[in-house]
Chains A and B, each alone.
Chain A
Amino acid sequence: MKRLTPYLLVLPGGLWLLAFLVVPIIFMASVSTQEGDVVNGFVQTFNVGNYVQAIGDFHTQFLRSAGYGLAGTAIAILLAYPMAYWIAFKGGARKSTYLLLVLLPFFVSFVLRTVSWKFMLADDGILLGPLKAIGLLPEDFHVLQTTAAVIGGLVYNYLAFMVLPIYVALERVDHRLVEAARDLYASRLGTFTKVVLPLSLPGVFAGVLMTFVPMTADYVNAAVLGGPENTMIGNVIQTQYLVGNDYPVGAALSLTLMAATLIGVFAYARALGTENVLAAAAR
């Protein structure tokens, strides 16, 4: 019985994952090599052509998604790190309040949040309207339908996933290590770069995973805030499924995205594995 306990503990979660993650993926993999249409039904022909078509027709959107994901993640790090740092070291007794504030947007639906951005940033909306009226901005200036709007929306929507892991990592840094570094002649900056930053890198590492993956697969921000030039792979997949009813190509796109993301993440983990980064920081 004792030896079974660990297995019993993973059983509920394991079954959940099996039912709702593994089975759909297998199902999708099967669909991705089928042929046919909605009216006459799809048959399994092991047609890899769907993949060729998926990558051939939509590689622009794949690359754009990766680009947006990278840019969004980078900006999120730059915004989240100082925030997490401030909460962890200067937050004092109010830390949990600040953390709650970071999480507050999550109490509103993802789509609603993004749509409210659309209202705020509309060409003659509450923000740009007055600025144009007083002549600070040219009449044809716009934010919506631009790359900046999409990336901005991505960063806004996923920022908390970057803040939280970094905060947790910073929170765990023993303050005595900071004092030890200062005692050993490190300046404030030196203490940060040699001790605090390296010790918080696992948090940054986790934050990158938690934001890059969903950002790359996102479709809401591009749909609401972007224009035709900003279509991401998530939008393509959505269109294939819901508009074009081309399930096989949609499935092929999804699996390609998943495989590409996994490969990217593994490459990232290998290249920037915590141990490697720490070893470099130790000098």
Chain B
Amino acid sequence: MTDNQVGVGAADTAAPLVSPVPAIELHGVVKEYRVHGELVQAVKGVTLAIAEGEFFSLLGPSGCGKTTTMRMIAGFEDPTRGTVSLHGGDVTGVPADKRDVNMVFQSYALFPHMNVWENVAFGLRRRKTPEAEIKRRVGEMLAIVDLTGRERRRPRELSGGQQQRVALARALVNRPRALLLDEPLGALDLKLRQAMQTELKRIQREVGITFVYVTHDQSEALTMSDRIAVMNNGEVEQLAGPREIYERPATAFVAGFIGTSNLLTGTVDRVDDGCAVLALGDGGRVLVAGSAHAAGDTLQVTVRPEKITISAERPSGRVSAARGTVEDVSYLGTYTSYAVRLPEGTEVTVFQQNAFDSSTTAEPGDSVWLSWQPHHSFAIGS
């Protein structure tokens, strides 16, 4: 994953890694649980470094070990093996109250017997902050999360979104050096969720601290993060910026988990001008940029649905092209989705923007040509 290619923007490689000492560093972290006498590995050797001020996401399906990883950073769980470092210091085995990070729980975990103000002041009070300073900082924080005037409310007297903001304020008011958020928007409806995404991003920019964000929502991770670690089955499958994760998935899992992706398998026919050429049936071919492949290699190749163009005639020029039959057409508002069956049986999904008119380019049963640029398909590990 080191060779940079066309289509990978500069933005995602530039943002992080400003400070030389990472805010959070996991080294070979393994977490095992004993469940009914059997050893279960929830996290299987995660090594990663999160830069100061970075918005870092842990993304992956349910049960892949995101929460466990985060709980080890927070100090609720000790790794079975490996080390956790915060700002250069090894904190493995240090309890949660002695770590300069705060967590926003998925369920918020607001103290039900305290009002909003007392919830937010909790951490400052435990640290024996002078009362005048508590007053000022809690007030400021409540203003930032737009809860001024609701200080006396109990958590149960607030809406879901308001509770979420109290949870955020309760953590941020302590000015931790890193904030850990475990699916903080999971319980909110779509509209509120989107509003809070923007809000969180704004707050992160405002306070300028490291955010580690756990989510299983790929679009959330893509829009908010500087970098994303895609986890599967206790391991990090890919760690990169959102654009690279989307445009250049490193594994079939990442390709399938992030957005919609087409997976084509073929054997390298020849290598031509730095491009491996895979032959498809009916005179079709796939061009794969990158010189690491030799004739005879079997490759798995991905291409995103929106990179593909549909035409009636075989396209000319140096493009990947495949012949197929349209099986299904779904109109989805901003775009139309086509399901096209290739001669070897693979189904390919194609998105076409409904930019100018909503008339469809093809009907079910039509025989069509699909084409895309060489730099839009990548060979991936499995």
Contacts and interface: CB of A to CB of B under 8 A. Distances in A.
Interface in B105-139: 105, 107, 109-115, 118, 122-123, 125-127
A187 B128 CA distance: 12
Contact of B123 (A184, A195, A283): A184
Give the one of B109, B113, B123, B127 with max A CB within 10 A. B113
A9 B83 CA distance: 60
A198 B76 CA distance: 23
B107 A176 contact: yes
Contact of B76 (A179, A185, A190, A278): A179
Nearest to B127: A185
B349 interface: no
B118 A185 contact: no
Interface residues of A, number: 21
Contacts of A185: 97, 123, 126-127, 174
B1 to A, nearest CB: 34
A179 B123 contact: no
Interface size class of B (residues with CB under 8 A): 20 to 34
A134 interface: no
B111 A183 contact: no
Interface in A163-187: 174, 176-177, 179-187
B170 interface: yes
B114 A184 contact: no
Contacts of B210: none
B68 interface: no
A199 interface: yes
Contacts of A184: 97, 102, 122-123, 126, 170-171, 174
B111 A180 contact: yes
A190 B113 CA distance: 15
Contacts of B111: 177, 180-181, 195, 282
B215 to A, nearest CB: 18
B102 A183 contact: yes
A180 B171 CA distance: 9
Interface string A242-283: 000000000000000000000000000000000000100111
Given A184-B126, A184-B174, A198 B113 contact: yes
The main secondary structure of chain A at its interface with chain B is helix
Contacts of A176: 105, 107, 109
B114 to A, nearest CB: 4
A185 B103 CA distance: 11
Contacts of A177: 109, 111-112
B112 A181 contact: no
B244 to A, nearest CB: 33
B96 A183 contact: yes
Nearest to B76: A179
Interface in A60-105: none
A199 B114 CA distance: 10
Contact of A180 (B105, B113, B115, B127): B105
B95 interface: yes
Contacts of A180: 103, 105, 109-111
Contacts of A194: 122, 126
B74 interface: yes
Contacts of B115: 282
A107 to B, nearest CB: 33
Contact of A182 (B95, B125, B170): B95
B267 to A, nearest CB: 53
A179 B109 contact: yes
A282 B74 contact: no
Given A179-B76, A185-B126, A282 B113 contact: yes
Nearest to A182: B96
Given A179-B76, A185-B97, A283-B118, A199 B112 contact: yes
Contacts of A181: 111, 122
B195 to A, nearest CB: 24
A5 B251 CA distance: 61
Given A184-B122, A184-B126, A278 B113 contact: yes
Find the residue from A177, A182, A184, A185 having the highest chain B CB count within 10 A: A184
A177 B170 CA distance: 13
Contacts of A198: 113
Nearest to B170: A184
A260 to B, nearest CB: 32
Interface string B7-51: 000000000000000000000000000000000000000000000
Nearest to B114: A282
A179 B106 CA distance: 12
A46 B123 CA distance: 64
Contact of A186 (B102, B103, B113, B126): B126
A257 B324 CA distance: 93
Given A176-B107, A176-B109, A183 B97 contact: yes
Interface in A212-247: none
B138 to A, nearest CB: 13
A96 B112 CA distance: 27
Nearest to B71: A179
Given A177-B111, A184-B174, A185-B174, 18 more contacts: A174-B107, A176-B107, A177-B109, A180-B109, A180-B111, A182-B95, A183-B76, A183-B97, A184-B97, A184-B102, A184-B126, A185-B97, A186-B122, A186-B126, A194-B126, A195-B111, A282-B113, A282-B115
The 6 residue pairs across chains A and B that have the minimum distance between CB atoms? A184-B123, A180-B109, A176-B109, A185-B126, A278-B113, A282-B114
Interface of B: 74-76, 95-97, 102-103, 105, 107, 109-115, 118, 122-123, 125-127, 170-171, 174
25 contacts: A176-B105, A179-B96, A179-B103, A180-B110, A181-B111, A182-B95, A182-B97, A183-B74, A183-B75, A183-B76, A183-B96, A183-B97, A183-B103, A184-B174, A186-B97, A186-B122, A187-B97, A194-B122, A194-B126, A195-B111, A198-B113, A199-B113, A282-B111, A282-B114, A282-B118
